[in-house]
Amino acid sequence: MNELTYCTRKSALALAQSRAFVESVKARAAGPAFTELTLTTSGDRFLNQPLQDIGGKGLFIKELEEALLDGRADFAVHSIKDVPAELHPGLALVCIPEREDPRDALVSKSGAGLMELPQGARVGTSSLRRALCLRQARPDLQIEPLRGNVDSRLKKVTEGPLDAIVLAYAGLRRLGLGSQATEVLAVDVMLPAVGQGALGIEARQEASECHQVLNLCNDPATSFCVHAERAVMLAVEGNCRMPVAAHAIRENGKLRLAALLADADGSNLRRAERTMAWPEVLGPAQLLEAAALGRDLGQELRALRS
């Protein structure tokens, strides 16, 4: 294979993480040249509306998937947290590289941490999951809608009316802005989104030669964890209209999977977790085991509905 075309969104973060991934492939694969195709997605066009009102996170990958299906691109680089539980027929996630830090980060105007913010502080986020966790920790906070790229979000707190915002720490780090984080929030305070911090490389199912090249950068441990998390989302039929989170980690020789689910208005919050032994070998059979664990946990959360 002499040349591969990859597609990506045009945001600074999408470009940074896509180009970093391609460089990692180049370091491992001799031969292929890479061409970049940048696209504006539906999610990028409607920045003044909540995602849940315009179709959900799948809007950030729709145009990229179209480019894969019509042959303009060989693979797409996504943030896994933007990828719906069910992929378009004919497409597959063929590589999940090593994960960045999956936690969320608070950026505050004053330098105060979450618990030190003033009473009634205005905190920006459009994520129902983040809003729910913020209200659990600080019921007094005023949650304000916040969309846009990382730079425009940061300006809302550094130059604008907000006292603080919450962003994915991985995004800040990939842009070289990790020092902007006032506090990296513990997972027991704010459970991360499904797949947060991980990239998902999507390609046509039949493109086996492309898969072989991309798979050189697959990280089996990250893939194992992400499969468990995504199975939770699939089991609860997760979408942008409900707060859902799942976080898998290797801990004391086990896979520990924690998840939460609530109704769209933040009510009926329930949490649960499952563990399984961390396998000695990580292959396709073990990915199915991880997915089964996530499915069982998701079904438990659904059954806890009062």
2-60 confidence digits (pLDDT tens): 899 999 999 999 999 999 999 999 999 877 899 999 998 877 665 555 555 445 557 78
Percent of the chain with pLDDT over 90: 82
Q: What is the pLDDT of residue 29?
A: 82
Would residue 82 show up in a list of annotated catalytic residues for this protein? yes
Structural contact between residues 147 and 48, judged by C-beta atoms closer than 8 angstroms: yes
Q: What is the dihedral of CA 83, 86, 87, 90, to 10 degrees?
A: 170
Q: What is the pLDDT of residue 306?
A: 53
Structural contact between residues 105 and 146, judged by C-beta atoms closer than 8 angstroms: no
Domain 219-306 has CATH 2.60.40.10: no
The topology (CATH level 3) of 1-98+198-218 is D-Maltodextrin-Binding Protein; domain 2 (3.40.190)
Distance CA 6, CA 251 (A): 35
User: How many Å from the N-terminal Cα to the C-terminal Cα in the chain?
Assistant: 55
Q: Which of 44, 70, 74, 82 is catalytic?
A: 82
What dotted CATH number matches 104-184? 3.40.190.10
Find tokens 């894969």 and name the residue.
68
Query: pTM to 2 decimals?
Result: 0.92
Q: Are strands 3-9 and 33-39 parallel, antiparallel or unpaired?
A: parallel
Q: What is the mean pLDDT of the chain?
A: 92
Alpha helices in 29-111 (DSSP H): 42-45, 51-54, 62-69
DSSP for 150-186? Answer: HHHHHHHHHTSS-SEEEEEHHHHHHTT-GGG-SEEPP
99-118: average pLDDT: 98
Tell me the β-bridge partners of 249. 256
For residue 100, pLDDT over 70 is answered with yes
Beta-sheet strand order (sheet of 164-168)? 142-144, 122-124, 164-168, 104-108, 183-184
Domains 1-98+198-218 and 104-184 share a fold: yes
Q: What is the pLDDT of residue 54?
A: 46
pLDDT in tens, 278-294: 999 999 999 999 999 99
Q: What is the pLDDT of residue 242?
A: 85
Amino acid sitting at position 103: R
54 token code pair: 């315009």
Q: Is 202 helix (H, G, I), strand (E, B) or coil?
A: strand
77 token code pair: 């680089």
286 token code pair: 């073990």
Q: Is 23 helix (H, G, I), strand (E, B) or coil?
A: helix
Find tokens 């916040």 and name the residue.
146
pLDDT in tens, 185-215: 999 999 999 999 999 999 999 988 899 999 9
Distance CA 171, CA 31 (A): 30
Q: Are strands 164-168 and 183-184 parallel, antiparallel or unpaired?
A: unpaired
Provide the residue ranges of all domains of the chain, joining segments of one domain with +. 1-98+198-218, 104-184, 219-306
